[in-house]
Amino acid sequence: MSRQEFTISGAKQYHHAGPVRWIASHMLHNKRPLFFWIIYSIGATILLSASRPFIGQAFDEVTRPHPDVSHLARIALIILGLALVGGVCDITARFSAEFLADRMSRDARDELYLNLLGKSQTFHNRQRVGDIMARANDDISLLGQMVNPGLDLILDSTLGLVIPIIFIGFINPQLLIAPLIFTVLYALALRGYTRELDPITTAQRNNFGLLNAGLAETITGIDVVKSTAQEQQEREKYARNARAYRAAYVRNGQIQARYLPPLLLAITLVAAFAHAVFLMSQHVISLGDLVAFMGLMSMLRFPTFISIFSFSLVQLGIAASGRILSIMREETELDENAGGHRGVIKGEIAFEHVTFGYGGEPILRDVSFTASPGQTVAIVGQTGSGKSTLTKLVNRTYDVTAGRVLVDGIDTRDWALESLRSQISTIEQDIFLFSRTIAENIAFSRGQQVSREEIERAAKDAQAHEFIMGFKDGYDTLVGERGVTLSGGQRQRLAIARALVTDPRILILDDSTSAIDSATEDEIQRAIRRLLEGRTTLLITHRLSQIRWADKILVLQQGRVIDQGTHEELLGRCALYRRIFAHYDTVLPDPAAIGE
Ligand code: ATP
Ligand code: MG
């Protein structure tokens, strides 16, 4: 099992060695439907094949000079009985197959979802949402189709091949020549067919993922596409992806068109009939035997025709499983460290010679500083200097490349991730709201356990109550996806309310948005002031008034802390700080009076 940031106890474990092993382990987790499916399929085919020799017997009886009517009636009853019981078996088998397929898709979906939740931020940064959606939806439904009708048909056709041949052997072993030669040629043709098909089905699935990812990206970024009038270009890009997908489909069709077994079967049926007539003329078999034999031979038609369809379904299923598995097997960088340290955070943060990069060049170099419990540490620096990056190391969104980050004197890597993260709140630059109600968004970090009073109190403290009550549905107002129906300032206040509900010991405030009118500004300042009380805070801000609250200010330049101290100290000795400070000062009128 690879590392995970999130797991639930009692989750089922599956083999991840390869798609076939994975599919098999999913099947074995559903033993009962699997068992019923196989047993009843075997039963149905045996009963159906068994009626053919009785039909032969009936022929022998009818063609006799004085047919025995009661014997004929008995045979008719037996055939009827076989058909009835066989039919019931058949229905049970089909039902079990469908049940198995549904169970397997459900389990696979659960497994994938849980696995995605457990993946690191680094992993999610790499993935394209549309591609993951394609895997979670389409590839998983292909897994279901692979079982039913795919594998169901393969089981049926294998039985439909083997059992009639066994019955033929019972009529007369000499009759086996034609069907056995056919079986060998059929197997060879099938192998060639699946080998040819394999790369095509994989390409088909990957092209579909690409198509989907492209579409998702365009729709997510539709405002950019529209505002830059790039619809035509996006349309062409989509058409290109669609063509690649179609090309794979056409290739698949071409291979299917060259499918040989039906031709083989036609030749075999002619040869078998000639052989049987010859044996009858030699009095080796009776006319009834010939009828039974040809009846059984005609049962081979089903497996031959259907395998073109069933094998491509199975191959698509395996290709899809491979894609699902490749996501699940991808190494995630962090581990939840469930057995690690747990406890209430007092709020001391220490960076010791921290170096960090997102894989390439280090973004932070040799960063060291400490924040005592309850202190506010502001981080200033030019855009791209690594301010946001620095804050992401505290809750282990990423792990340091070198050095250590300590919370309460304990390396963050030694904390149980869940305990650490649940006590650290981040209000990011880019505030994400779920397409749920305002109340649910505020209560998000604690799920169902938050009362309406508590939510309202937080909203009041965050200066959000008033505008929320201005909506028709108040706290039950649905927020559009990504909060598009709320303004920047409103979203920010919801985020503050969310943080208040969480009541974190450590707060990270990445507040670089500065385009807010002064009335709102005033409210937000008050809300933030309220939020900082009694917590250790890392504060990234462009607002002079907030910087003044800080007990300590770090000045970051290209990933290095070039100075740290109070506002007055830095003004006195740090040229870069003075420059940034002067810059802020001209951008924003000094709102120092607010909240002081
Ligand atoms: P701003 O003031 O504009 O918010 P910042 O100081 O917060 O800037 P960061 O977001 O920390 O800057 O980015 C620092 C550097 O790290 C940038 O050069 C950026 O390109 C890079 N970077 C940020 N996030 C990632 C990521 N997820 N993967 C790779 N590189 C990243
Ligand atoms: Mg930033």
Per CATH, the homologous superfamily of domain 101-328 is ABC transporter type 1, transmembrane domain (1.20.1560.10)
- Closest ligand to residue 125's CA: 1
With beta carbons less than 8 A apart as the criterion, state whether 171 and 289 touch: yes
CA of 557 to the centre of ligand 2 (A): 13
Q: Does the pLDDT of residue 593 top 50, yes or no? A: no
Probe target for ligand 1 pocket from 120, 355, 356, 388, with the most ligand atoms within 8 Å of CB: 388
- Per-residue pLDDT tens for 510-537? 875 554 555 666 777 777 888 888 899 9
Distance of CA 332 from the midpoint of ligand 2 (Å): 24
State the ligand closest to the CA atom of 359: 1
Please tell me the residue having the least CA distance from ligand 1 atom 14. 386
461 C-beta neighbours (distance < 10 Å), count? 19
Average pLDDT over every residue of 321-348: 85
Give the pLDDT of residue 473: 85
Distance 376 CA to ligand 1 centre (A): 22
CA separation for the pair 536, 423 (Å, rounded):
11
Please state the separation of Cα 491 from the chain's center in Å. Answer: 29
The pLDDT tens digits of the residues spanning 220-259 come to 888 888 888 888 888 998 999 999 999 988 988 888 888 8
Q: Ligand 1 pocket test: which of 387, 540, 556, 560 has the largest number of ligand atoms within 8 Å of its C-beta?
A: 387
Helices then strands, each counted (H, E), the chain? 23, 10
- CA–centroid distance, residue 382 to ligand 1 (Å): 11
Q: What pLDDT is attached to residue 220?
A: 83
For 536-560, write each residue's pLDDT tens digit. 999 998 777 778 888 999 999 999 9
Ligand that lies nearest to the alpha carbon of residue 555, given by its number in the listed order = 1
| Residue range(s) occupied by CATH 1.20.1560.10 in the chain | 101-328
Q: What would the two tokens of residue 445 be?
A: 């970090």
**List of residues 6+ apart from 446 with CB closer than 8 A:** 501, 502
- Centre of ligand 1 to C-alpha 87, Å, is 66
Residue ranges lining ligand 1, Cβ < 6 Å:
125, 358, 363, 381, 383-389, 429, 512
- Of the listed ranges 119-128, 166-175, 571-580, the least confidently predicted one is 119-128
Q: Is the pLDDT of residue 409 over 60?
A: yes
Q: At a CB cut-off of 8 Å and minimum separation 6, what does 375 contact?
A: 536, 537, 551, 552
CB-based contact 5:120 (threshold 8 Å): yes
Residue 10 main-chain phi, psi, to 5 deg = 80, 5
Q: Whose CA is nearest to atom 2 of ligand 1?
A: 383
Which pLDDT value is given to residue 534?
Answer: 86
| Per-residue model confidence (pLDDT) at position 376 | 92
Residue nearest to atom 19 of ligand 1 (CA): 384
CATH number attached to the domain at 337-423+510-516+536-596: 3.40.50.300
Residue of the nearest CA to atom 7 in ligand 1?
Answer: 388
Q: Average the pLDDT over each of 180-194, 341-355, 471-485 and give the range with the smallest value.
A: 471-485
Domain with CATH 3.40.50.300 in the chain: 337-423+510-516+536-596
One-character DSSP codes across 32-93: HHHHHHHHHHHHHHHHHHHHHHHHHHHHHHHTSSS--HHHHHHHHHHHHHHHHHHHHHHHHH
Mean pLDDT of the residues in the chain = 86
Candidate from 125, 361, 363, 555 with most ligand 1 atoms within 8 A of CB, to mutate: 363
User: Ligand 1 pocket check: which of 120, 356, 389, 562 to mutate, most ligand atoms within 8 Å of Cβ?
Assistant: 389
